[in-house]
A and B are shown apart, each in its own frame.
Chain A
Amino acid sequence: MTAEELYAKFAAQFPKVQKASVEVKGSPAYATLRLNSPAELEPVIEWLKGLGFTYLDIVTATDYKGPIDVKGFVMDPNPNAFLPEGATPQIEAPTATPNYPYREAFELEYCLTYLEEKIKVFLKLDVPRDGGKVPSLVKHFPAADWQERETLDLYGIGFEGHPNPTKILTPDFIKGYPLRKDYVHTPDQFD
């Protein structure tokens, strides 16, 4: 199966699911699709699993709010402070790129693999930044368990039906969701 054939099958089965405008580069055997709502996620996943995509690669998210806020770091993250005097600066402070379509949303990414056919499919799904919720995939793929917890911990996206929606990486006293672009670090007892 090639990516084109997969797109055709998708068009027949789910006419609403479109090919994403920004494709994931990497290999001709990567297909990228954009889902319109969280309700579509489970039927698509079930259908893909039936087709042979039995291996869940990644579950993650991206915050498209804009350039990163440097207040999310304990110190100024600019490494130029370590350069000797008079050296050329290595990197500037993060700035917004003109004309890049930043938007107020998280984008969830799922990647599934068809082991025998050597093809990967990337699913994208926008969720609102405040109180966004998506169905959990744990009952379809146990592999989603920790990856969803990680996304919850670092982005604060809720996964409905997750058996254990708790923090996994950061300690309890870290408030907020560190990977959000507007995360502001509150100094704690160790800073």
Chain B
Amino acid sequence: MKILLSWLNSFADFADPADEAAVASIAADLTSLGLAVEEVIPMGLGVDGVVSARVLRVETHPDAAKVRRVWVDAGDGAERHVWCGASNMAAGDLVPLATLGTSMPDGRLIERRGILGIDSEGMLCSGAELGVDDDGSGILLLDPTADPGQPYTAVLGVEPDVLFDIDVTRNRPDCWSHLGVARDLAAKRGHELRPPSSPFARGGEERSVPVEILAGERCGRFTTTVLSGVRVTQSPAWIRRRLAAAGMRPINNVVDVSNLVMLELGQPNHAYDLERLGKGALRVRLAAEGERLMTLDGVERTLQSSDLLICDGDDRPVGLGGVMGGLDSEISEETTTVALEMAWFASRGVMETAARHSLRSEASARYERGVDPYVIDRAIDRFCDLLAESCPDLVAHPGGADVRSEHLPEVHRSTPLRLSVLDRVLGVVLGPARVTEMLAPIGFDVVGDGPEVTVSLPSWRPDSTEEIDVVEEVARLHGYEHLGRTVPRADVFGHLTPAQQRRRATREVLVGLGISEAMPSPFLAPGDLARAGLEGDYLSITNPLAVEESALRTSLRPGLLAALAYNESHRRDRVSLFEIGHVYPPAEAELPDEAEVLGVVLAGREAPAAVAVWDELCAALGVGAQLDQSSPGAGMHPTRSATLRAGRDELGVVGEIHPEVLAEFGVSERVAVLEVRLDVLLARGERVPLAAPVPRTPSSDLDLAFVLDDSVPAERLTKALRQAAANRLVSLELFDVFRGESLGPGRRSLAYRLRLQDPSGSLTEADISSIRDACASGADRVGAVLRAQ
């Protein structure tokens, strides 16, 4: 919201716009009130070096058809020659001349420049070039009765001003007006607020534009006032300047007054040409499905049955309620009698219509947030006041319509306020007198005394409905910066849960293994999972930014593979990445089957590297799983992968990415991969190991080699050996795997070293021999044959 300081000053003497310190203090107070000042823009300072100059004569040059030669007198009696591209000036006009050395707002420096070898001693300026208005079509023509040689701003009557760009929060619809901002500021700074206008006397005969509200839930109040003696013309200079400074283009006196009232009081309004209103009446109803209306912006809108229409007495649509007027009934230069509409529309309907038609207007922005339903009477008076400045014959007729529905908010609303709640929430004790004194200037009147009082809620604060809203007002006016600072002390201690600690440990292990953390997007293109070999259902975003980011991942692999492909294409191979992130598989439940997953990809590495990562994690987290190579997992290398199983839980997969998947993702290296349900691993209860005495008896090593068919996993033999050696086994290591012709095809030799120990005594040769036999027969049961030593 753009707020002009000079405009605020019309409500109270806040600050001289030329006084920088005073302006800074206003800005600080506004921010402290919650009206965050995002920018303080000095206005009306003018461009140094631009002076008024009298046009002496204008000539054309035969060799330069597009430009004029202009001779001017800049007040010193000397004739100066300038070239000028515009042609709207004539001898006797007073125009702004940028003298040599002037630095223009757009950055240009005015220098002695020539055309056809004839120099130009300056530049004549348009209103747009000087930032006076947005008219760049010709030279700005100043009041010809003024003298040449003055700063052009003096001729224009422009005074220094300041524009505050304020970020108005959604709960402060009242501050979408200068009055609202002035009210808060006056309360904060202890100024008395001057009312903006006095009642405008009605005159002439009773005239009315009857109103019928057929959609009371959407329109709580609709008033019409007939104004005759209107002459459509240009607004007075001060109105044009004020609107332009506030960022609105002046159009004509009626439209300008309409806008000025809205900017000043926050009440949107609409002026119809009464002659063009069928039957001289208005009806407020919902649109028929498919009904059409050409809005003021010249766009034909196809309406829905939830759009609110203002129609004339012939039921012809003349406006989209609370959003924008129609083109047909707009006032024109011939208009002499105006039907002035001031109405109150419920915010939600306006919000939906504005969103549906992507049609945000100054009116809809205000109605969406909530307009004061009771500022209308004052706004009508102000409108008449201002229009009378340019229409001396203006008559505001008595007998206007003021139709209300039961959905109009009550004029008198109130809430109880417990002072104990106020003290508790704010943490300071202010006392009832101070609270009353603070609240009164913003229209929150405190009634009663004792621990619970009643606070009336002003009609311009629809956001305020209950006790806590009043508490916030007190806090705001007191100033957050004046609240104390304490630190709560409770019988709690901050800690990470075991699962959170284990998540951190997981990251540490992975980083220690040389693997870096990636964060790919959880949004995939619809085919990405299939390209990764992962068929099956997935959820989608119904309103994605792009269809390539519409699928919710059920695996981290597509994102990680894309990251590897990216790095490979940038000449970085053998990249190791991990991700800890969520996947969102569909589920028949309140929410999807969201789970936290760990994904590890090792480019240029083979499956055993992934198994090694898994084993490191198992050791660090105290977890474990079976490698089920009979089900390698979708998208995985069929002969180099395994599903990780722990009891009935399927934890994930380990191994290598399927070569076809790699090709799909454009990765040319092999990729070892681990993808595992991290949430399950983290939830495993932390086992606290109990100390066991370290045996003091001597240990012996037993090396055994077996021949085993490739179809039998080594792990089965390992398990058999563990069982065979039972409690004598200290450790077991598979230290050599050998394949060769001597063993025959599809077979390999597995060499183990078993360290054996008997805690109660030394192992004898006979003991070791019996363990060897037990191992041999255990191995035999899984199809392994002990090789001769």
The answer to whether A and B come from one shared complex is: no
